[in-house]
Amino acid sequence: MAITNASVASGTPGQIYVSTNQTAVTAIMFCNVGALDTNLSVWMVPAGQALANSMQVLNAIDMPAGETFSMDTERFILEDGDSIYAETANSNLVSATVSYIPTN
């Protein structure tokens, strides 16, 4: 199992994870490390495609200051080059930790 960390961008969705070969994302933890409330949106984007509303898996969920949101119920199997994007309303507030395992 491996992890990767990223800060979540504000104003425009930013890439927080790119799959190398095929990987299974087992959990994503989003932590609002700031003193301000914000919201969070997340997209799963297939390789070679532009981000679109049809790829959104979370839409502007509330992220109170100091809170953590965990995506750990579903597992996402990502092919080589598939990406996870995220965006918040305020910059430098939310960190993302993606836990994944290679599947091949």
CATH number at residue 20: 2.60.120.220
The residue assigned the tokens 């979370």 is: 58
Task: Count Cβ neighbours within 10 Å for each residue of 16-52 and write b for 16 or more, e otherwise.
Answer: bbbbeeebebbbbbbbbebeeebbbbbbbbeeeeebe
Integer Cα distance of 28 and 5 in angstroms: 10
Max Cα-Cα span within the chain: 41
Integer Cα distance of 82 and 19 in angstroms: 5
Residue numbers of the domain that contains 75: 2-102
pLDDT digits (tens, 9 = 90+) for 28-41: 999 999 999 999 99
pLDDT digits (tens, 9 = 90+) for 54-74: 999 999 999 999 999 999 998
For the chain, what is the domain count?
Answer: 1
